[in-house]
Amino acid sequence: MSGSVKRNYASTLRAEQARTTRRAIVDAASRLFIERGYGATTVDAIAEAAGVSRKTVFTSVGGKLEALKLARDWAIVGDDEPVPVMERPEVQRARKEPNARVILRSYAGIVRRAGARVAALNLVIEAAEGLDAGARALAEEGRRQRLTGMRDLAGELARRNALPDGMTVDEAADVLWLFNDARAYHRLVTERGWMPDRFEQWLADSLLAMLIRTDYTPSP
C-alpha cells in the first residue's frame, strides 16, 4: 500500500471517527435538553452523557447553544448530512410535481415526519428564549427560515394557478407558516393523542381547503 493511500485511508478514518463523536455529543445533548431543559443542561453533563471529555464537546460541537442548534437542525431534516432542507430530494420532487394538491399532501407528510423529530426541541428553545439571548436568536432564526421556505412553497402553488381568488402569495405563506409550526404536531399528537397518520390527513385536508381554489385543474 502506497504512502498516499495510507494517508487517505487514515484521513477518512479520522473524519468518520470525528463525525461519530459529534453525533454522540449532539444526541446526548438533545436528550438532556428535552429531559432537563436548556438552562439546567451543562456542557459537563453533555460530555458525561456522550462519554467524552468537556474539551471534546467544545472542539467537536462548540458550547451548548451550538449543540442545541445542531440538534434542532438535524431533527428537522432527519440526519446530519450538510444538505439544506430546500435541496432535499423529497422537497425537490415536490417542486417538480405539476399537481398543487399532490404538492400539499406531500408537504403534509414532510411536516408530520419533521414534527415528530423536532417538536420537543422546539419547546425547549421556546422555553429558553425569554431567558437566554442565544436561544432567543436561535428561535427567531428558525421562524425566519420557516417563513422563507413557506414563501417558496406558496410561490409554487401560485405558479400552478392554484391559490384561491384574492389570496396573495404572502398570505398563503403565512397560512403555511402557521400550520407547519411543530407545536401543532405536539398539541394534537403528543398531548391529545392523535395518531400521526390522522394528523397528516387533517393537515393535508386543512391546507387543501384553505389554499387550493375549488375550480383548480392541474395542467396536463
The domain spanning residue 52 has which CATH number? Answer: 1.10.357.10
- What SS3 class is residue 180? coil
How many domains, in total, are found in the chain? 2
- Rounded CA-CA distance 34/41 in Å is 9
Do 87 and 64 lie in one domain? The reply is no
397518520: which residue's cell?
197
Verify that 103 and 68 share a domain, yes or no: no
In this structure, are 171 and 201 located in the same domain? yes
Taking residues 174-196, what's their average pLDDT?
A: 95
What distance in Å separates the CA atoms of residue 130 and residue 108, rounded to the nearest whole number?
30
Single residue among 49, 77, 105 that ends a domain in this structure? 77
> Whole-angstrom Cα distance, residue 57 to residue 44?
9
Q: What mean pLDDT is predicted for residues 75-94?
A: 85
Q: CA dihedral in degrees (91, 93, 96, 97; nearest 10)?
A: -100
Whether 49 and 96 map to the same domain: the answer is: no
pLDDT digits (tens, 9 = 90+) for 108-123: 999 999 999 999 999 9
Q: Is the pLDDT of residue 13 over 80?
A: no
pLDDT above 80: residue 10: no
pLDDT in tens, 30-62: 999 999 999 999 999 999 999 999 999 999 999
- Is 88's pLDDT higher than 90? no
Q: What gap in Å lies between CA 10 and CA 189, rounded to an integer? A: 46
| In contact, 57 and 25? CB cutoff 8 Å | yes
Task: Report whether 69 contacts 139 (CB < 8 A).
Answer: no
Does the pLDDT value for residue 156 go beyond 60?
A: yes
pTM here is: 0.86
Residues 71 and 139 in one domain: no
